[in-house]
Structure 1
Amino acid sequence: MNLKQKLTIRHLRLIDTLGRELSISRCAEVLHTSQSAISRGLSEVEEILQTRLFERTTRRVVPTSSGQMLIWHAEQILGQFDRVEADFDALQRGVGGALNVGMMGGFSPTWLVQAVKLASEQAPELTIRLRSNFADNLLADLISGRCDIIVTHFDIRQFSNEELVVDVLYNEQVVVVAAPGHPLTRRKKIDWSDLVNERWVMMPPETSTRRAVERNLVMHSRSISPVITEAFELHYIVELVRSAGMLTALPTALASWLEREANLVRRLPVVDEFSPWAVCVARLRSRAAGPAERLFINSLKTVAAKSQSDLSPKNKKKQHFFEA
């Protein structure tokens, strides 16, 4: 079996698309071809590999174990081709290279800006593409090649000995916030039982913050189900907090930025807040880090170290990112 001579990029795109759509008709629409062409292409791949890749039903197709394995490899290979295409495009436009960075949504905007500025000063021709996603999806983006490095609070340190090279940037704390003028902002001490009857707006359940909030509310509510409005975009969440009197929970760095720079929220003095978790930057061990990856990782580490130093007790008067 000589796959390099027989299996083509066209075959891989077909398998990748069919694995996502699980429908020959929808796969044909995405690839702008006919259903018969999709069926012929799938038969070609199965003939090359001498195995069945999808079980066909009247309405959908379901990948076999062999099909699942090929879908995974196709996604990785196509992700590498996308990176090559992006890098060549950057070179043709006179830019020295491109770096795809996957970011969790709660990372401090101030810190991110400083890291980008620091990297850009050292490599003016570097194009930095920031891609926001949920923690679990960021890891998938890294493995598939859609991202070169990721910054996330997902506990990826457990992978560091094998799949990933991980650096911890800082330990993050999540806090509950309300709009300025909300009655709870006048309280000196708030228990979770006081928050059960409040209306909340939160990111989807894929986020660690949402799961932690729901867990605390359920533990203290007993018979009351928490009322949670769900939104993905931060500006919708902030506006619902500001104009509809809702509560939300945010990473401390992000909450402090919204409080200090935009005067949009106030941190609430909630007793027994969330346990801190590590915010990490990670890359795949199987892919050697290029100059762009090393530069941006070092920029993130430099900014995080300086910021943590500014927040140390002896430098409290020099706080830049958190307010008491």
Structure 2
Amino acid sequence: VVVAGPNNPLTRHRKLELADLLSEPWILDPINTDFGAMQAEVFRAAGLDPPRLTVAAPSITLRNELLATGRFLTVVVGFSLLLPRENPRLKALAVKRHHPRQPVGVTALKSRSLSPVAQMFIESVREWVKPLANNR
């Protein structure tokens, strides 16, 4: 999802298109990183070139501090807004979603059973992501 700090005027808009935001100042991961490539793919899925970076920031702490100024936008994984964190005031913008789905899986060794802790972790993750299945 596209997020901004609480003072960004775009947080008051009810309907935005990704194309409308290309000229805004963006903080994204460097494109040569896994998450930077995923962020760029969000724009490509909407038929757009990624925006020109204002700041390339692989540090989440730096990104959150800059977002808190209300000037910048970034792309984050949607479930990260549900997690408790130091800066809970980031706001998801009402942008029509054009994002590629990324598969996530758990790999287990053949002929080995999962530990109770691993089973609990998998069950917890399933519960966390269940509400996201409705946001497709």
TM range, smaller chain: 0.7 to 0.9
Aligned match for 2:34, one of 207, 211, 230: 207
Change (3 A) 1:200 1:296: farther
Residues 1:178 and 2:4 aligned together? yes
- Seen in structure 2, the aligned counterparts of structure 1 residues 225 and 265 have a Cα distance that, compared at 3 Å, is closer
- For 2:84 and 2:68, locate their aligned partners in 1 and report how far apart those are by CA, in whole Å: 11
Match of 1:252 in 2: 78
In proportion to residue count, which structure has more strand? Answer: 1
Distance 1:200 1:296 in 2: 39
Identify if the C-alpha distance between structure 1 residues 198 and 249 changes in structure 2 by more than 3 Å, giving closer, same or farther: same
Larger Rg: 1
1:19 corresponds in structure 2 to none
SS of the equivalent of 2:105 reads strand
Q: What pairs up with 1:258-273 in 2 under 5 angstroms? A: 262-273=87-98
Superposed, 1:149-168 pairs within 5 Å as none
Partner of 2:20: 194
3-state SS in 2 of match to 1:232:
coil
SS at match of 1:282: coil
Where do residues 80-99 of structure 1 align in structure 2 (5 Å cutoff)? none
Change (3 A) 1:296 1:213: same
SS in 1 for 2:26: strand
1:3 match: none
Partners of 1:262 and 1:300 in 2: CA distance: 25
Larger helix proportion, structure 1 or 2? Answer: 1
Measured in 2, the distance between the counterparts of 1:244 and 1:181 equals 5
Q: Please list every run of 5 or more consecutive structure 2 residues that lacks an aligned counterpart in the other structure.
A: none
> Which amino acid in 1 is paired with 2:116?
L
Q: 1:176 to 1:236 in 2, by over 3 A?
A: same
Q: CA deviation at 1:248?
A: 1.0
Residues paired across the two proteins, number: 131
For 1:198 and 1:232, locate their aligned partners in 2 and report how far apart those are by CA, in whole Å: 19
Gaps of 5+ in 1: 1-174, 314-324
Aligned sequence identity (%): 20
Structure-2 residue corresponding to 1:282 = 107
1:258–1:264: 8 Å Cα contact kept in structure 2? no
Aligned counterpart, 2:128:
307
Q: Aligned letter for 1:237?
A: R
Q: Residue 57 of structure 1 corresponds to which residue in structure 2?
A: none
- 8 Å CA contact 2:26, 2:73 repeated in 1: yes
Rounded to whole Å, the distance in 2 between the matches of 1:237 and 1:276 is 23
Aligned residue identity for 2:106? V
**Counterpart residue type for residue 124 of structure 2:** V
- Name the Cα RMSD after superposition: 3.3
Aligned to 2:60: 234
How far 1:245 moved relative to its partner?
1.7
